[in-house]
Amino acid sequence: MSASLAAGGVRARARRRETLSNAGRVVIGLIVLIWTLIPLYAMVQVALEPKDNVFNNAIWPVNATLAGFWTVLTQDYWYLSHFWHEMGNSLYIGVATTVLTLAIGTLTSFVVGRMRLRHAWVISNAALLTYVIPMSFLAIPFYRVMQEYGLGDNLWAVVAVEVTFATPYAIFIFTQYGSSIPLELDEAARIDGASPLQIYWRVYLPLMAPSMVAVGTYALLLAWNEYLYMFLLLSSDHNMTVPVALGQFLNSDEAPWNLMMATSVIYALPPIVIYYMFRRYMSAGLTMGGVKG
């Protein structure tokens, strides 16, 4: 009797705790939501105003219109007359950067962290050299080497720069993340006669999925929002990207700010969609029982 009472008390306390933590979760969620949305709301508010009425004293759009977004989508403004083509170039650079960063990053971290090649540590330490000078200050050196390599006005020049900056980070994160994957898994596969390539492909990559989604998103967004290296290394209209098109709005003191903000909001969506598509792989990693294997 007393035992069941006690059990009931525990259950009630657990329920109370549950309700409390749920309430806490909602409060935190609301704070996060407001924090995130206020600056975005300010951007959307500008995007929704007609050009002549961008600045006013209201906290909601006064003459809200979707015309700005429509103008962007139909390329009906001269800064945006190649918007979709530029979006295509941005995607091309973004996807190429992501794929190469993930491929090179996982291969290198596999050797450094798991195969334990003699002196492989040199690689990850040398990679740090990339970060001795901040990315934005390597503009002139990169301009020069790309010219010397004959990569002037070539989308791959931008991809190369982005991969160069994303890969060291990818290697660190993958090596760090991979260190929590038990080496016994590799051992077991080797005893079964798997070659290193098979271990990399069948054992290593699947277990790395969560970190690959995170690092892949990082690489994609690094390339997606690159601006400096795009105008620096690209020249022709044919090779321009959306960030360069956005930069045009700052060419003069005068610009349709509503269109700039509408373009920015539209441009932010593809990476979110891509992240959403790959997000389910994040939970497909260790927690799903890989460790037990």
Partner 1 sequence: MAMDGASAIGIGRPAAARRTRRLGWNGGLQGSDRNWALAFLVPYAAIFLAFVLLPVAYGLWLGHRPSSYAALFSDPIYLRTLVNTALFLGIGVNLHLFLALLLSGYFMSRNWWVRSLLLVFILPWAVPSIPTFISIHWMLNGEWGFINNALYTLFGIDGPSWLNYRWPALASVIVSYIWKWTPFWTVILIAGRMAIPQELYEAASVDGATGIRRFTYVTFPLLANLYLICTLLSTIWTLGDFNTVYFVTGGGPSLSTHVLATLGIRDAFIVDNPEVGMAAVLSALPLLIPLVIILMRKLAKTQVQL
Partner 2 sequence: MGNMSRRGVIGGSLGLAAGAGLARPHIARAASKTLTVWWNQGFYAAEDQAFHNLVAAWEKASGNTVDLTLLPGQPLNEKIVSAFTSGHVPDLMYADNAPAQIIPQTAWDGKLLDVTDVVETQKSELSETALQSAQFYNNVEKKRSFYGVPFKGATLNIPTWKSLIEKAGYQMSDVPKTWDPFFAFFEDVQKKLRAKGMRHTYGLGYTLSTTGDDPNNLFVQFLVGHGGGGIVTPDGKLHVDDPKVREAMVKTLTQLASAFKGGYVPPDALNWGDPDNNNAFHSQEVVMTPNDTISISSAVMNNKQWYYEDIVTSPIPLDNDGKPVSVLLGVLLAFIPKGSGNVDAAKDFIRYLIQPEHLDLYLKEALGRWLPVMPNLVKNDPYWLDPQDPHRQAAVKQGVLGPTATWYYVFNPAFAQVDAEHVWSVATSDVINGMTPDQATTKAFERITAIFSKYQTTS
Site for partner 1 in 28-87 (CB under 8 A): 28-29, 32-33, 35-43, 45-46, 55-59
- By CB under 8 A, the residues from 215 to 234 that bind partner 2 are 227-228, 231-232
What phi, psi does 55 have (nearest 5°)? -110, 115
Asked if residue 234 binds partner 1 (CB under 8 A), the reply is: no
Measured distance CA(96)–CA(21) in Å, rounded: 43
Q: Report DSSP letters for 166-197, one per residue.
A: HHHHHHHHHHHHHTTS-THHHHHHHHTT--HH
**Closest alpha carbon to 135 in 168, 112, 91, 102:** 168
- By CB under 8 A, the residues from 116 to 145 that bind partner 2 are 139-141, 143-144
Give 1 or 123: the residue with its C-beta nearer to partner 1.
Answer: 123
174: left (phi over 0), alpha (psi -120 to 50) or beta: alpha
Q: Contacting partner 2 (CB under 8 A), which of 36, 81, 179, 195? A: 81
Residue with tokens 């969560």: 210
- By CB under 8 A, the residues from 109 to 168 that bind partner 1 are 110-138, 140-142, 144-145, 149, 160-161, 163-164, 167
Asked if residue 281 binds partner 2 (CB under 8 A), the reply is: no
Residue 210 binds: one of partner 2, partner 1, none (C-beta under 5 to 8 A by kind): partner 1
Give 1 or 272: the residue with its C-beta nearer to partner 1.
Answer: 272
The CA radius of gyration of the chain, in Å to the nearest whole number, is 25
**Segment contacting partner 2 (CB under 8 A): 87-95, 125-133, 196-204, 254-262?**
254-262
Give 7 or 103: the residue with its C-beta nearer to partner 1.
Answer: 103
Instruction: Give the chain's largest Cα–Cα span.
Output: 86
Q: What is the closest distance, in whole angstroms, from the C-beta atom of residue 202 to partner 1 in the complex?
A: 14
Asked if residue 77 binds partner 2 (CB under 8 A), the reply is: yes
217-255 burial by CB neighbour count: b if 16+ within 10 A, else e?
A: bbbbbbbbbbeebbebbbeeeebbbbbbbbbebeeeeee
Give contact residues for partner 2 (rule: CB under 8 A). Answer: 52, 54-57, 75-78, 81, 139-141, 143-144, 147-148, 152, 227-228, 231-232, 235-237, 244, 247-248, 250-255, 257
